[in-house]
Amino acid sequence: MSRPKRILVCTAQVPFARGGAELLAEGLCAALRTAGHQAEIVALPFTRTPHRELLSSALAWRMLDLTTVEGQPVDQVICTKFPSYALAHPRKVVWLVHQYRQLYDLRGTRWSDWGAEPDDAALGAALQRLDRQALGEAVRRWTISRKVSERLARFNGLSSQPLHPPSVYSGRLRAGRYGDYILSVARLDSAKRIDLLLRALALTEQPVRAIIGGSGAARAQLEQLAQQLGLGQRVRFCGWLDDATLIDLYAEARAVYYAPVDEDFGLSTIEALEAARPVLTCADAGTVLDFVRDGVTGLVAPPEPRAMAARLDALWADAGFAARLGAAGPATVAHIRWPQVVDSLVL
């Protein structure tokens, strides 16, 4: 290895929200330290509304000078989440989680409200110019998946190389028995489609149970939906889970549900497969389908409740079936490890 370096991992933080991007930054920082580097996370807060605050957040990054800290040089920065990559640094590497998708591929869909505010046209153009310039400055561009690389090329004309992120729990996940619950671990918002799981549970012939981990703005709405569907004790909302509890829940789950809309990556998928759990997902779930093959490492359903209910029933009725699917998981993700990520990202 080359000499130890002083490296800043740069990310943006929505106050009171925590998800895969935060775990990625924490995992990378820990892996850099394990490799002998000095590493710290730099996170600036940002808010999605009103939309003009997005530009303010990007400009805040642009105005920072992190070439030195306390008189000591910063050898490299690794920028991850929008808009942290607006930071200027002569040795800037981007490991792109995603751009602001509501401005790009989600624009014009029900997943984006872009265009709802009077200055959105001018603001969107300014943000896209900033993206092209700031991302174009990087001495290396990596993304978390093929899908993110394709989007970067399509909308910004920039090349990049996919580099899959491991879980922060990599090496600690284990396979236990195939227990009596379906596990969901995701931020609770509409794009993760936890509501689809709930509606499917209401249609199952078997008394399938679900444990739902994660926090988010949609929790109250989802809890109300579960009540309206009469699911009662069949669904338990656990909120944010500590590491030990989450690892135990993965180890004993019958399967893991992870069926977001056109997901960029999905750490829950990687974690489930490493723990030898089959993944239940949808045919339009995005990068999840790079790892989940129907009938091999999990089950892929159309995104509608009755089809999902049939897959839930099949897994619930036969633990041996779940075990056969789960057995293929660890080998599928064995190549996704932190030392390889560090070797790729450090200049």
CA distances, 102 to each of 54, 158, 283 (Å)? 12, 19, 22
Query: Would you say residue 169 lies in a domain?
Result: no
Backbone angles phi, psi at 94, to 5 degrees: -105, 125
Q: Are residues 128 and 199 in the same domain?
A: no
pLDDT value for 23:
87
pLDDT value for 217:
87
CA distance 69 to 163: 29
- The pTM of this model reads 0.88
pLDDT in tens, 313-322: 999 999 999 9
pLDDT value for 183:
98
Q: Are residues 155 and 186 in the same domain?
A: no
Q: Are residues 48 and 147 in the same domain?
A: yes
Q: Are residues 194 and 324 in the same domain?
A: yes
Query: Would you say residue 345 lies in a domain?
Result: no
Range of the domain at 97: 6-163
Q: Are residues 244 and 133 in the same domain?
A: no
Query: Would you say residue 341 lies in a domain?
Result: no
Q: Are residues 152 and 241 in the same domain?
A: no
Query: Would you say residue 140 lies in a domain?
Result: yes
Q: Are residues 219 and 294 in the same domain?
A: yes
Rounded to the nearest 10 degrees, the angle between the axes of helix 267-274 and helix 20-34 is 60
Domain limit, last residue, from 94, 129, 163: 163
What does each of the 347 residues of the chain score in pLDDT, given as a tens digit? 568 999 999 999 888 777 788 889 999 999 999 999 999 999 999 888 899 999 999 999 999 999 999 999 999 999 999 999 999 999 999 999 999 999 998 898 888 899 899 999 999 999 999 999 999 999 999 999 999 999 999 999 999 999 999 998 999 999 999 999 999 999 898 989 999 999 999 999 999 999 999 988 899 999 999 999 999 999 999 998 999 999 999 999 999 999 999 999 989 999 999 999 999 999 999 999 999 999 999 999 999 999 999 999 999 999 999 999 999 999 999 999 999 999 999 99
Q: Are residues 61 and 209 in the same domain?
A: no
Domain limit, last residue, from 104, 133, 163: 163
CA distances, 273 to each of 36, 227, 331 (Å)? 29, 31, 8
CATH number for the domain spanning 43: value is 3.40.50.2000
pLDDT value for 2:
66
Pairing of strands 72-73, 68-69: antiparallel
pLDDT in tens, 88-98: 999 999 999 99
Query: Would you say residue 12 lies in a domain?
Result: yes
Nearest to 96 by CA among 37, 155, 32: 155
pLDDT value for 3:
83
Q: Are residues 270 and 129 in the same domain?
A: no
Q: Are residues 113 and 159 in the same domain?
A: yes
Instruction: Name residue 211's beta-bridge partners.
Output: 183, 236
- DSSP secondary structure string, 26-83? HHHHHHHHHTT-EEEEEEEE---SSTHHHHHHHHHHHH---SEETTEE--EEEEEETT
How many independent structural domains does the chain possess? Answer: 2
Q: Are residues 151 and 214 in the same domain?
A: no
